[in-house]
Amino acid sequence: MLPVSKEPSSRKAHRGRFQAQGGGVEESVSWSQDYPPSKDDCLRMLEELKQKLSRSQQERRQPHFDQIKDFISCIKDCECQGPFKKSYPKPSEGDIRIDIEVLCGSIRP
């Protein structure tokens, strides 16, 4: 039997990220915390991601940002538990996309 550590784990219970990829872009905004982010927290992080992109990169991805905002707004209990990954646009348009990844934990409705 392995000894049980009494030290608190350095890994947070709720981890994930939003990522913009494709067309020469790879930017992300992540979270790692003890409590699940709320929908409002997620929308703020998504806006932070958008601000990391140039104006033309933002314009090219605006429909993708709109789709992922709609998804976040409709999250209900247990719908977004990790591990979970979703990419937008739906349907796919080549390699230009916005991802949401919940590595562990959840997003609070």
Residue 6 included in any domain = no
Mean pLDDT of 27-54: 97
User: Per mean pLDDT, which range of 26-35, 43-52, 90-99 is the poorest?
Assistant: 90-99
Q: How far apart are CA 8 and CA 91, in angstroms?
A: 43
Residue 65 included in any domain = yes
Indicate the pLDDT class of residue 2, thresholds 50, 70 and 90: very low
Dump the DSSP string for 24-92. Answer: TEEEEEEEEESSPPBHHHHHHHHHHHHHTS-HHHHHHHHHHHHHHHHHHHT--TTSSBSSEEEEESSS-
Q: What is the pLDDT of residues 51-85, one digit of tens each?
A: 999 999 999 999 999 999 999 999 876 667 889 89
Residue 10: per-residue pLDDT:
67
Structure tokens of 45? 């992080």
Indicate the pLDDT class of residue 1, thresholds 50, 70 and 90: very low
* Mean pLDDT for the chain overall: 88
Residue 1 included in any domain = no
Q: How far apart are CA 93 and CA 95, in angstroms?
A: 7
Query: Could you give the count of Cα atoms lying within 13 Å of 13 in the half-sphere of its Cβ?
Result: 8
Distance (Å) of CA 74 to CA 40, 58, 79, 92, 106: 12, 23, 9, 21, 14
Structure tokens of 9? 């784990």
How many domains are contained in the chain?
1
- Residue 58: give the domain boundaries: 14-104
Residue 46 included in any domain = yes
Residue 3 included in any domain = no
Which has more pLDDT, 79 or 103? 103
pLDDT of 8 higher than 60: no
Residue 84 included in any domain = yes
Question: What is the bridge-based pairing of β-strands 25-33 and 14-22?
Answer: antiparallel
Residue 21 included in any domain = yes
Residue 25 included in any domain = yes
